[in-house]
């Protein structure tokens, strides 16, 4: 949902969601928690991503994994989030609002 302007994805019950890039920013909001089914779909996918980034950052912090070992796999997507000011603000606010401090720290490694 980060590296294209529009695409379609099958939802959990088989329905298709056509998602436009600009819809992602709105779906990541921490206010007005009445989400459409499409927004729930997007948020669920980003929550899964951020759960994994939490784990990766934890492994980096205890020196089980080196940042250089995962940098290439995540760098392109992290830069897409960080380069667009609105998208950056939406995702960082989401990470703050829903307690993903390690995922936030991991993404911000790419801003250096």
Q: Map residue 108 onto helix, strand or coil.
A: helix
The model's pLDDT over 81-104, given as tens digits with 9 standing for 90+, comes to: 999 898 899 999 999 999 999 999
Asked if residue 61 has pLDDT above 90, the reply is: yes
Q: Which residues, 6 or more positions from 36, have their beta carbon under 8 angstroms from its beta carbon?
A: none
pTM of the model: 0.86
> Domain residues for 26?
6-111
Residue 1 in any domain: the answer is no
pLDDT at 112: 61
- Number of domains, the chain: 1
Residue 95 in any domain: the answer is yes
Task: Give DSSP secondary structure letters for 67-106.
Answer: HHHHHHHHHHHHHHHHHSHHHHHHHHHHHHHTT-HHHHHH
Residue 42 in any domain: the answer is yes
Residue 51 in any domain: the answer is yes
Residue 24 in any domain: the answer is yes
Residue 14 in any domain: the answer is yes
Task: pLDDT band for 109, please (50, 70, 90 cuts).
Answer: very high
Residue 29 in any domain: the answer is yes
Percent of the chain whose predicted confidence (pLDDT) is above 90: 56
Residue 104 vs residues 19, 28, 96: alpha-carbon distances, Å = 24, 14, 8
């Amino acid at each position: 949902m980060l590296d294209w302007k529009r695409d379609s994805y099958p939802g959990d019950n088989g329905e298709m969601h056509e998602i436009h890039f600009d819809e992602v920013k709105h779906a990541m909001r921490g206010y007005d928690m009445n989400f459409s089914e499409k927004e729930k779909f997007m948020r669920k996918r980003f929550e899964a991503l951020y759960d994994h980034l939490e784990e990766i950052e934890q492994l980096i912090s205890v020196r089980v994994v080196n940042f250089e070992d995962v940098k290439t796999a995540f760098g392109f997507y992290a830069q897409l989030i960080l380069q667009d000011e609105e998208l950056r603000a939406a995702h960082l606010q989401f990470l703050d609002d829903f307690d993903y401090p390690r995922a936030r720290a991991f993404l911000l490694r790419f801003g250096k």
